[in-house]
Structure formats: C-alpha cells, structure tokens
Amino acid sequence: MTRSIVRLPSDVEDEDFEVYVNGVLQQPDVDFYLDGREIVFDRALRKDRVSRWRWLLGAWGVGTYRQDDTVDIRYEVDGEVRLKHAAPVTLDHESDDEL
C-alpha cells in the first residue's frame, strides 16, 4: 500500500487545523490520520512535474494531464489565520505484509 505523508508546519501547536486536498476539506480519521506531527493519507497523492517536452506540447495547444494533488493546511497562531499552501508530500511504500 502506498501512503502519503505531510508534515505539519512547525508553528502548529495543537490539533486545531484543517486539511484540504485540491480545495476539498478532509475529515480526520476518515480521509487522514495523525501520526505524531505527520498527516497520513492511505492513498497516493502525486504532484505533476511538467517536462520540457510536455511544456512544448502545451505551448502548441496539446493538453497532457496527469494527477496533480495539492495539500493545504489551515491553522491559527495567536488568533492569526495561517495557510501552508502546497505542503510537500512524501510517498511511503509499505508492503501489505507489514500491515
């Protein structure tokens, strides 16, 4: 199984935060779970990398679309709303034997 892991920003002090994937609010213990200071998704979230070849095709109007997920974390520090946009995602490949 491939899991996706996102580290919480260092200034998140409690579990009062919201997680969005592609702009959609995710529910704790349904869509993700916390493992210490890591947000864990039991699915692969991927960031699309556009190569020069694909960029050139796009410049000519030829679309090449792939999975391109964005994880945002909304939280508050001292009453100030903060947003970590496009938080880095790490893929963790676990074998089914370890579960």
Overall number of domains in the chain: 1
Query: Could you tell me the CATH number of the domain that includes residue 29?
Result: 2.60.40
Q: Which domain holds residue 9?
A: 2-98
High-pLDDT (> 90) share of the chain, % = 64
pLDDT at 95: 46
Chain centroid offset of residue 95 CA? 21
Q: Do residues 50 and 19 touch, judged by C-beta distance below 8 A?
A: no
Average pLDDT over residues 60-69: 73
* pTM for the structure as a whole: 0.80
